[in-house]
Amino acid sequence: MQISIQLGPEKIAVPKDEPDTSCGAVVCFSGVVRNTEEGKPIRSLYYEAYRPMAEHMIREIFNDLARRFPCGSAEVIHRLGTVPVGETSLFVRIRSPHRAEAFHLLTGFLDRLKQDVPIWKTQP
C-alpha cells in the first residue's frame, strides 16, 4: 500500500485525485474545526505534534490495518498550528479495489489516530 503523509501549518487544500484504475473505491474524510469544544464556544484550535514519531505511527497504523483491509493507497494531511473554526484540520483519502475495505481502513485509522499518534490539540 502506498502511504502519503503531510504534517504542517499550511491551510489544507484537497489535493487533486489521481485516478488509480486498480481501485474502484475512493473514500475521503475531512475533519473541520467546529465552533465549540467541550460545550464552550471557541474561535480556533491549536495542533502540535512530535512529527517524526507521528509520521512513524501513522505509517505503522496503516500497515497494520492494511493486513486486514487491503487497500491501494492512503493519503493523510494533518494541519499543525492554529486552525480557525470552519477550516479543515485533517484530510484522509483511501483508495481500494472495494468500498468495504476502504471504509474499514478509514474508520480504524481515525480511531487509532486520536488514540495512538502524538498529535495534540489545545485551545489557544
Question: Range with the lowest mean pLDDT among 3-7, 19-23, 28-32?
Answer: 19-23
User: What is the model's pLDDT at position 18?
Assistant: 82
The helix/strand/coil state of 63 is helix
Q: What architecture (CATH level 2) is domain 2-11+22-122? A: Alpha-Beta Complex (3.90)
Domain segments of the chain: what residues?
2-11+22-122
pLDDT at residue 17 is higher than 90: no
Q: What is the pTM of this model?
A: 0.95
Residue type, 114: K
| pLDDT one-digit tens code per residue, 58-106 | 999 999 999 999 999 999 999 999 999 999 999 999 999 999 999 999 9
CA distance linking residue 104 with residue 88, whole number of Å: 22
Residues 79 and 89: beta-carbon distance below 8 Å: yes
Strands 119-122 and 25-32: unpaired
The position carrying cell 497504523 is 61
For residue 124, name the pLDDT band (cuts at 50, 70, 90).
confident
Residue 73 CB neighbours (<10 A): 18
